[in-house]
Structure 1
Amino acid sequence: MVVLPTLQLALGDSLGKGSILRPETVIGCTADNRTGRVVLFSGIEVKRESGSKDEALSQLAIWLCAGLESHRQLAEYPAEHLLPVVGWTVVGHDWHMYIAYRALNHRGLNTMFVVSRWTFPSAQTRDVLGLCKILHLIRKMEVYAKSVYWPWLQKVLEKRFKRRWLEKGI
């Protein structure tokens, strides 16, 4: 499969111009060198039909938790004040949505939680109804990201940089 121009732009420097995607080609948040320099709200882990759902969830959970820690460091905020982030695992045609957040557990320790025990945030791409459900969930995620998450993160970062500028006398 030849990489389309739009995909080429999205992947940035991960692939050379006119690259060919082969079955063994890895495309993901860890393969693209740009994702280490941007704030990401959500993640996705994709496996083949024969792939392991548990492995996909483990990789997504690590990625989401690392993202939350990155947000905590960037915002210089207590972990329990971070807003949740959203991720997907896709194994073959089956899509599962997960929410990750940090909070204090029953012992008062700061803990990462990745949850999804609902039936609604699961969908599949085997039929049109499943595709519509996935699109609906993605649109809901987009609304949350645009109306809640990004405005919150922008305010947090503005406070951080204003504080730094004041400390430096800028």
Structure 2
Amino acid sequence: MYGKGKWWLQNVQSQSINPDYLSIPITGVKEKFIDRKTDYTLSYSHRDADISSLYSRLAVAYHDEVSHVMDTFTKRTALFSGLEIKPSYGIHTEAELQMSIWIAASLRKKMELARTAGVNIVLAAMAEPALTIVGHEHCIYYAYPRSDLAGSGDGSRSEGGVHVLASGLVLRTDSVRGVFQLLQLYRNLLEYGMDKGDDGYWGRFLGRVLEGLASGRRG
């Protein structure tokens, strides 16, 4: 209703995250990547004429791998946010973990894209929302890069800390008021992700980066 044909709610439950962008726990033992996939993500739709044209130009410039997953199609699709969904008896902390791993990997990939494009971005401009849904409860989080947090520490492309912060906002679908509040929330989220203005995610960050890559820039 609010996506204007530019969004696709994509099921990514069966898609693996590229290990280059995964988190590694600090355990003092043999390194092991934490690979927990999320349920859904919002992708910038190939069916939209402008976005499809951008993907074509990215392919010509040999910069078409723009997301953090291994799937042949999805890795060539720009992604936004993530939703981890569990039934009412699901474990909320598990949903948080899966969502956090997904959105952190996504931001590491986007940091890499920005470096490759040679686009200087204020880290706060990369703040990206993500959600967990457990039963009736919808919880909102914000993820953003932190230069003072360690990454994998091995010099790989995944190096870079990401902080995931709970907003404290919990909305529910078991009341009429809650449903309308959620409709407003999701409308704002979709508009923010596609907003080409200076305050929008596309205008101040992702669009700039992808257009830079499509023009053939290399950092």
TM-score by length of 1: 0.69
Code of the aligned partner of 1:112: V
Matches within 5 A, 1:143-158: 143-147=191-195, 148-151=200-203, 152-158=205-211
Q: Is contact 2:39-2:82 (8 Å) kept?
A: no
Compared CA separation, residues 66 and 79, structure 1 to 2 (3 A): farther
Deviation at 1:158, TM superposition (A): 2.0
Aligned match for 1:131, one of 170, 179, 182: 179
Separation of aligned partners in 2, 1:83 and 1:133: 25
Quick check: 1:80–1:104 contact (8 Å CA) kept in 2? Answer: no
Quick one: distance in 2 between partners of 1:59 and 1:79?
27
Cα distance in 1 for partners of 2:136, 2:72 equals: 27
Partner of 1:3: none
| Distance in 2 of aligned mates of 1:146 and 1:41 | 10
For the 8 Å contact 1:53–1:91, the answer to whether it is kept is: yes
Which whole-Å CA distance do the structure 2 matches of 1:33 and 1:106 have between them?
31
Is 1:100 the counterpart of 2:143? The answer is yes
Q: Which protein, 1 or 2, shows the higher relative CO under an 8 Å CA cutoff with sep ≥ 6?
A: 2
Q: Which amino acid in structure 2 is aligned with residue 96 of structure 1?
A: C
Superposition pairs of residues 40-55 of structure 1, within 5 angstroms: 40-55=79-94
Larger Rg: 1
Deviation at 1:163, TM superposition (A): 4.5
Q: Residues 33 and 135 of structure 1: is their aligned pair in 2 closer, same or farther, counting only changes over 3 Å?
A: farther
Are the equivalent residues in 2 in contact too, given 1:80–1:102 (CA < 8 A)? no
8 Å contact kept, 1:95–1:124? yes
| CA–CA distance in structure 1, aligned partners of residues 162 and 148 of structure 2 | 9
Of 158, 162, 165, which residue of structure 2 is paired with 1:115? 165
Mapping of residues 20-39 of structure 1, within 5 Å: 28=40, 34-39=73-78
Q: Percent identity?
A: 29
- CA distance in structure 2 between the partners assigned to 1:78 and 1:163 by the alignment: 16
**Inter-partner Cα distance in structure 1 for 2:192 and 2:111:** 19
CA apart distance, 1:74: 2.3
Partner of 1:69: 108
Aligned residues: 144
Give the gaps of 5 or more residues in structure 2. Answer: 1-7, 14-37, 42-68, 154-159
Query: Which deviates more, 92-101 or 33-42?
Result: 33-42
The CA RMSD measured in Å over matched residues stands at 3.5
Is structure 2 residue 112 aligned with structure 1 residue 59?
no
Does the CA contact (< 8 Å) of 2:142 and 2:167 recur in 1?
no
Letter in 2 for 1:94: E
Kept after mapping to 1: 8 A contact 2:99/2:131? yes
